[in-house]
Amino acid sequence: MKSLIKKLVETIGPSGYESQIRAVIREEVEPLVDEVRVDNLGNLIARKGGKLPGEVRGQPGVKIMLAAHIDEIGLIASHIDDFGFVRFVPIGGVRPHTCPGGRVRFLNGVEGVIGIERFSIALRSESNNSVPSFEQMYIDVGVSSRKDCSLHVGDMAVFERPFLDMGKRLVSKAMDDRIGTAVLIETLRQFEEQSISSPHQLYFVFSVQEEVGLRGAMTAAFGVDPDLGLAVDVTACGDTPRGGKMEVGLGRGPAIKVRDEGMLADPRLVDWMVETARRARVPYQMEILIGGTTDARSIQLTRAGVPAGCLSIPCRYIHSPSEMVDFGDVQNAVKLLVELLSNPIKFLTCPQS
């Protein structure tokens, strides 16, 4: 699975421009599913199971949408100046203090380093201790004039950092959310290897444009029109020195989301996930996230509403060039997901009185 993760995190895919990473995922997924399509926004939608939800052991199945987003945060060139320096604006939640000194790679292959104005605006600003703004930064692509610069306004870039395997811990600039896509792909592999047949009609959605406002999941969910939605995404941790107060930490299992800034998970889904984890003896932790949200919010609010939740992979240093996850958490997430999807879901198939 680690080689899959490495391949996924090292493929480029800023929001809105996901064709390269989509091609990589498609190649992995296509042999494992019954149908693959790409929608108008670029979401890769893979169906596993018949055209209608099936039946196993006399229990009817439902239509489930799983979503992991394939886009990553990045930068767009906004101006090339007379001396060939490239001004930029962020795509998604890039944090300015992680930028200076960083390296970036544009979709057309051009590489550059992020520099910061030192002697002009930065020194004139009110406080020299303040975090620099994007307006004070530029990308140096190693040329001296505009005409030598092979970039244009509108060219997209992502941060450039190799995958780091620390054994138990894995580090990359795009764990958010390539690790979620890895979990979905590995789940499909497990279904294949163990010849598990799910009673459900499963839609594995590799969604686009999550980082700019959960946009891909919105149109994908409208198209799939599921009975239940589950996002697989990263969540923050509270287990670092003087870190934010948060229960979630690395190595204690995948996290079952109760709420975040944009969604209250359906309590029936939370119970279903907790009970399944207990039964299967998969370690888990409960997640209450203060800031941020996931594709589950978009799914939940689609059409007439969809019961939705999120299985989270704990991750340190989210939206920095070095996002860290625990490999054990990743493996346990796969284990839990396989368990969740291979059995009937009572609260949906036996309506409440």
Partner 1 sequence: MKIETIANMSKNRIPSIGNAQIRLLESLCNASAVSGEEEKVRSIVLEQIRPLVDEIKVDALGNVLAKRFGQEKKRLRVMVTAHMDEVGMMIVADDEEGLFRFETVGGLEVSQLVGKAVWVGKNRVPGVIGAKPIHLVEQDELSQLIKLEALRIDVGPENGKKVKVGDRATFATPFIRLGPSLRAKALDDRVGVATLIELIRQPQPHLDLLAAFTVQEEVGLRGARVAAYTLDPDLAFVIDCTPARDLPDWESGGYHVEKEEIENTQYNTRLGAGPAIYIADHATLSDPRLIRHLVETAEALKIPYQIRQPGGGGTDAGAIHRQRVGVPTVSISVPGRYLHTTASIIRLEDWKNTLALIHAALSLLSPRLLRTER
Closest CB to partner 1 among residues 135, 275: 135
Q: Is 301 in the site for partner 1 (CB under 8 A)?
A: no
Of the candidate residues 81, 140, 192, 247, the single one contacting partner 1 (CB under 8 A): 81
- Contact between 207 and partner 1 by CB under 8 A: the answer reads no
Is 35 near partner 1 (CB under 8 A)? no
**What order of strands is seen across the sheet that includes strand 228-235?**
35-38, 44-48, 201-207, 63-69, 228-235, 308-314, 255-259, 285-288
Q: Enumerate residues 146-205 that contact partner 1 by CB under 8 A.
A: 152-154
Backbone angles phi, psi at 234, to 5 degrees: -85, 160
H/E run at residue 186: helix 175-193
Residue 114 vs residues 86, 99, 183: alpha-carbon distances, Å: 9, 6, 32
Among 11, 187, 198, 209, binds partner 1 (CB under 8 A): 209
Q: Can residue 145 be called a binding residue for partner 1 (CB under 8 A)?
A: no
Distance of alpha carbon 72 from its chain centroid, rounded?
7
- What tokens were used for 330? 């990743």
Scanning 97-105, 177-185, 215-223, 310-318 for contacts with partner 1 by CB under 8 A, the matching segment is 215-223
Q: Toward partner 1, which CB reaches closer, 53 or 216?
A: 216
Our CB check for partner 1 shows the closer of 147 and 168 to be 147
DSSP H helices, 83-149, are: 121-124
Is 39 one of the binding residues for partner 1 (CB under 8 A)?
yes
Integer Cα distance of 157 and 94 in angstroms:
12
Active site residues: 210
In 3-state terms, what secondary structure has residue 155?
coil
330 touches 182 (CB < 8 A): yes
Position 128 contacts partner 1 (CB under 8 A) = no
**Is residue 226 involved in binding partner 1 (CB under 8 A)?**
no
126 near partner 1, rule: CB under 8 A: no
